[in-house]
Amino acid sequence: AEHQHARYNPLRDDWVLVSAHRVKRPWQGQLEKPPPEDVPRWDPNNPLCPGATRANGEVNPQYEGTFVFPNDFPALQPDAPEPGDSDHPLFRVAAARGVCKVMCFHPWSDLTLPLMSLEEIRAVIDAWAELATELGASYPWVQIFENKGAMMGCSNPHPHCQVWASSFLPNEACLEDRTQRQHRSQHGVPMLVEYAEQEARRKERLVVENADWLVVVPYWATWPYQTLLLPRRHVCRLQDLREGERDSLASIMQRLLIKYDNLFEVSFPYSMGWHGAPTGPYLEEDCGHWQLHAHYYPPLLRSATVRKFMVGYEMLAQAQRDLTPEQAAERLRSLPELHYKRRDK
């Protein structure tokens, strides 16, 4: 808790430097602007709102729940041509095809997931599972991710996420596939199933838990308040969750995200995403080494205006953090589960 040391991340097969003694240093770096608190519930100029006109001229329906539509500026397209052949092994190229979708969680722009009801969050989970099934029928990888807040590149203040399906396994998927496969081969049990059991017993990095799920600040966390959401049961894919597990997932997501917002009493920015067993042709293969999980990567470090930057040593050597995962977990764990905006009510 007080001296520098390195911790191994078995999921990524790399190390993070923990410099606990630096947490007391004064901050004289860049201060971020806190997110606006006066977001209008409906804005005709916000392309994610019901009835608004998007950049391609299409008008959104007057949706009342979740709403999914093709990304107007997709990073992946299904009909991209084959790239030309490479003339040297140092200049390799490969085909990349896919589809990109946007999913709105709710029609109101002034809501975020922690302020939505459990029924509304459950509807989001069901929509995620439906998209994972639909796109996973043909694509090897379906990446569901949410960038929350302008600090994380979210250009439209509206509760939403993105879903990209690709004809290839991305780097992180390939890495986690290799490490999880290797762990099960060597130890006879899926890595993250064993890890969840260990963290549930030790409790020092536990943030919230219920009968089906637990959230921890992982032992190898890089970001200050990074968390890992894990099922207790062995589940390979989001679409494999049982009805009760989807209900309890909605509950634990709400509890975690309320704690995030309560930490600095601000709409907490983060990038999050689901990782599960590959799909498409992999549906016919043994993917039992995989365990479904969600990563949450928030950038805030000391306050709503002070963030962690991945620069210098992190870019050129290896990841480094000051606050220990145990300290971060204790702080999150101690926060109330009533949202700060609703305390007076």
Q: Which residues are catalytic?
A: 160
Q: What is the DSSP letter of 90?
A: G
Q: Is 154 annotated as a binding residue?
A: yes
The DSSP line for 284-297 is GS--TT---EEEEE
Rounded to a whole number of angstroms, the distance between the first and last alpha carbons of the chain is 39
Q: Is 271 annotated as a binding residue?
A: no
Tokens of 300: 């805030």
Q: Is 56 annotated as a binding residue?
A: no
Task: Determine the Cα–Cα distance for residues 201 and 211; give it in Å rounded to an integer.
Answer: 14
Q: Is 23 annotated as a binding residue?
A: yes
Q: Is 110 annotated as a binding residue?
A: no
Q: Is 295 annotated as a binding residue?
A: yes
Task: Determine the Cα–Cα distance for residues 319 and 135; give it in Å rounded to an integer.
Answer: 33
Q: Is 64 annotated as a binding residue?
A: no
Q: Is 307 annotated as a binding residue?
A: no
Q: What is the DSSP letter of 314?
A: H
CA 54 from chain centre, in angstroms, equals 26
Q: Is 98 annotated as a binding residue?
A: no
Q: Is 198 annotated as a binding residue?
A: no
Q: Is 87 annotated as a binding residue?
A: no
Task: Determine the Cα–Cα distance for residues 245 and 231; give it in Å rounded to an integer.
Answer: 9
Q: Is 187 annotated as a binding residue?
A: no
The DSSP line for 98-151 is EEEEEEES-S-TT--GGGS-HHHHHHHHHHHHHHHHHHHTT-SEEEEEEEESGG
Task: Give the three-class secondary structure for 63.
Answer: coil
Output the known binding site: 22-25, 55, 71-72, 147, 153-155, 162, 176, 275, 293, 295, 308-309, 313-314, 320
Output the known binding site for UDP-alpha-D-glucose: 22-25, 55, 71-72, 147, 153-155, 162, 308-309, 313-314, 320
Output the known binding site for Fe cation: 176, 275, 293, 295
